[in-house]
């Protein structure tokens, strides 16, 4: 079973991801901020990470950079899922190490396909 770490500070977004992922037979881990998400990535080594951008303290770009540059977690694909939908945001997200960049609201089928593609 593929393990997905969702890092998002919005309880309603987290609930949507939890429902979509559980329905598609993914194991879901949850972190409510970037710092917690980085720690959980090291502790649990999930198969993929879904990352929000706009979060307090450590934003998703910073957390993505920290995860993708840490030897212990660099192999884990990060998919940024954000309301920020400018081309500059996409480019910056990829430069931080994200494999994919999706915008909210995310389509369930698209999300499942992207997860399967980045996991391999």
Task: Give the domain extent around 58.
Answer: 3-119
**pLDDT for res 46:** 98
Is this prediction's pTM over 0.85?
yes
Q: What is the pLDDT along the chain (120 residues), one digit of tens a residue?
A: 999 999 999 999 999 999 999 999 999 999 999 999 999 999 999 999 999 999 998 999 999 999 999 999 999 999 999 999 999 999 999 999 999 999 999 999 999 999 999 998
- The CATH number of whichever domain residue 78 belongs to comes to 3.40.50.2300
Task: Please give the Cα distance from 84 to 87 (Å, whole number).
Answer: 9
Beta carbons of 17 and 50 less than 8 angstroms apart: yes
Q: How many domains does the chain have?
A: 1
């Amino acid at each position: 079973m593929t393990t997905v770490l969702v890092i998002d500070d919005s309880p309603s977004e987290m609930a949507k991801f939890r429902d979509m992922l559980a329905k598609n037979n993914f194991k879901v881990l949850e972190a409510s901020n970037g710092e917690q998400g980085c720690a959980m990535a090291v502790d649990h080594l999930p198969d993929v990470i879904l990352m929000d951008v706009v979060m307090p303290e450590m934003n998703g770009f910073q957390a993505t950079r920290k995860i993708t540059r840490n030897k212990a977690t660099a192999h884990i694909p990060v998919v940024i899922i954000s309301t920020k939908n400018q081309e500059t945001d996409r480019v910056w997200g990829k430069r931080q190490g994200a494999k994919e960049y999706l915008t909210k609201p995310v389509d369930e089928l698209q999300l499942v396909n992207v997860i399967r593609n980045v996991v391999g």
